[in-house]
Amino acid sequence: MHFVEKLGRFTELSDDERIALATCVETEKVVPAQTRLVNQGDEYPSAYVIERGWSFRQRLLKDGRRQVMNFLVPGDAIGFAAAFFAHADHTVITMTEVRYARIDPDRLMQVIAGSPRLGATLFWSTALEESVLREHIVSLGQRTAREHMAHLLVELAERVRKGGMPEAEAQLLPVTQILLADVLGISPVHTNRTIRQLVREGVIETSARGIALLDEPRLRQMSDFDEQFLHEDGGPDF
Amino acid sequence: MHFVEKLGRFTELSDDERIALATCVETEKVVPAQTRLVNQGDEYPSAYVIERGWSFRQRLLKDGRRQVMNFLVPGDAIGFAAAFFAHADHTVITMTEVRYARIDPDRLMQVIAGSPRLGATLFWSTALEESVLREHIVSLGQRTAREHMAHLLVELAERVRKGGMPEAEAQLLPVTQILLADVLGISPVHTNRTIRQLVREGVIETSARGIALLDEPRLRQMSDFDEQFLHEDGGPDF
DNA sequence: CGTGGTGTTGAAGGAAATCAAGCCCGGTGG
DNA sequence: CCACCGGGCTTGATTTCCTTCAACACCACG
């Protein structure tokens, strides 16, 4: 029930609200790495909430270039707003084994109708996601590859910490460098050089399974990380 | 009442809903160009809807670099979701004289509580905005300066067309090249060279007051513009 | 009639892409 | 068992795109 917990972190939910929310959760499912949860161009399948593991959103251009939008960690939602659209404009792929819950959109609508506070809270969590997108825009437009990389790593560490991912998994970002290149909008070769440099400086560490942070304070400093952008400064005001 | 009209384009609103929405609109105000409607770091002032003119959102880094997130055209909303946050993480500045309406958030909340359909519609319009941000990420990450510029121009032409801006204004994007540089994430000099090239090719035209499109089909083609991303394919499904 | 913001263009330097080659490692099949 | 293969990682050399620096023209404005 990460979904209920996540919203509960924003607003103090009553027991009634918790119970009502829980009735929206349908089946839970576990899928292996490299599974497509949503397919660009297809009809939007449904609404989901990630409960365990890593995934990411990507968008393909006609000539094969791809851009990775963001990563999804436990507590993140898929398709709450986007489900309004006829077709998905992006693909969601799992990077590890992932457990997720299907949410019944109609039921959710009913629940919200009964509790505007819940609606506002949901709205809030969408706004938070938008904030992450905006920060990505800033990174792509203004930060150097090095700064962008550092910023991304700190952001993920932060989000994962709040998302209730088990400590062991949270320490390690399970990405290939090719994937990372398409997040940062740079070539795989340059991604590699940037990573190697950060490793030489001792702020990160690489292994076969991914990237681990060694010196988060320095990463924050070199990326000019703004504590405020994940908006820990409060949820909706009632 | 562009606000009501805009939402009305997504969903068939009843007269009651229209009237209820209209009661949320407080004062209307007209401000000159270069006015700050929202200030990064300040408390979020309120919620607004743009009714006439051009503005943009920007975010400043500590060292002075700035990134422009997106442009705001008539019908666009400011601060509906973001007002939940304690502090604004960006600044909004007008580029022309702008007329906007203040929306009473509390009143809006009440109205939504009385009509979940309205809430969903508002939610939908937020999702649409997010879609524009995602496209900006794709452009920054994957497209060349030339492609990005072409894509931006077509996107704005399209949005402005749907936003009910007067034909005369809609034809002209009132930007300085320095501003455009901070949208595209490139230097002013390179922005200039990119523009000059497009002018030489005869697809756009510049004047003291801004940029005008001459050959939209070619711009679409060179930017691989995807008709679908502004999601004309339908609003919320009831 | 200066003055500052904007636009324009050339020249030089730097960041990142591309091209190319070799490595490690896990999987697969002879 | 090991040869082979493919995917990801690493590094050097070269090229391309974009930045930076610099100079000047233009024009709106005080």
- Judge if A13 and A99 occupy the same domain: yes
What percent of chain B shows pLDDT beyond 90? 48
Largest Cα separation within chain B, whole Å, is 56
Phi, psi of A61 (to 5 degrees): -95, 165
**Across the interface, do B142 and A67 touch by the CB < 8 Å criterion?**
yes
Label residue B83 by pLDDT band (50, 70, 90). low
What single-letter DSSP state applies at residue A43?
B
Q: CA B160, C1' D25: Å apart?
A: 34
- In this predicted model, what pLDDT tens digit does every residue of B27-51 receive, in sequence order? 889 999 999 999 998 888 788 999 8
Domain's final residue, options B96, B126, B156: B126
**Is residue A129 predicted with pLDDT exceeding 80?**
yes
Reported as a pLDDT band with limits 50, 70 and 90, residue A237 is very low
Q: Are B17 and B113 in contact (CB under 8 A)?
A: no
B161 found inside a domain? yes
Shared-domain flag, residues B8 and B110: yes
The per-residue pLDDT for range B92-124, each reduced to its tens digit, is 999 999 999 998 888 888 888 888 788 778 878
Confidence of residue A18 (pLDDT cuts 50, 70, 90): confident
**Looking at the domain assignment, is residue B136 inside a domain?**
no
| Predicted pLDDT of residue A231 | 61
Over pLDDT 70: what percentage of chain B?
93
Whether residues A63 and A159 share a domain: the answer is no
Whether B207 is covered by a domain: the verdict is yes
Please provide the average confidence, as pLDDT, over all residues in chain A: 87
Residue A108 in this model has a pLDDT that exceeds 80: yes
pLDDT at B132 over 70: yes
A67 and A181 in a single domain? The answer is no
The CATH number linked to A12 is: 2.60.120.10
| A55-68 confidence digits (pLDDT tens) | 999 999 988 899 99
Compute the mean pLDDT over every residue in chain B, rounded to the nearest whole number.
87
Mean pLDDT, rounded, for B16-25: 86
Element (H, E) at A197: helix A188-200
pLDDT of residue A64: 87
Per-residue pLDDT averaged across A107-128, rounded? 81
The verdict on residue A137 lying in a domain is no
At B204, the pLDDT band (50, 70, 90 cuts) reads very high
CB B181 within 8 A of CB B188: yes
> Residue B192 and residue B20: Cα distance in Å, rounded?
48
B193 and B161 housed in the same domain? yes
The Å distance, CA of A82 to C1' of C1, is: 59
CA of A112 to C1' of D11 (A): 56
β-strands B210-213, B204-207: how paired? antiparallel
User: Same domain for A7 and A109?
Assistant: yes
Domain boundary pick from B126, B161, B187 = B126
Q: Is residue A134 part of a domain?
A: no
Q: How far is B148 from chain A (nearest CA, A)?
A: 12
C-alpha B95/C-alpha B122 separation (Å) is 26
| Chain B residues close to A112, C-beta within 8 Å | 116, 119
Q: Are residues B172 and B121 in the same domain?
A: no
Structural domain count of chain A: 2
One domain for residues A116 and A153: no
Residue B105 belongs to what domain range?
2-126
Query: B22 and chain A: CB distance < 8 Å anywhere?
Result: no
| A98-103 and A47-52 strand pairing | antiparallel
CATH classification at residue B157: 1.10.10.10
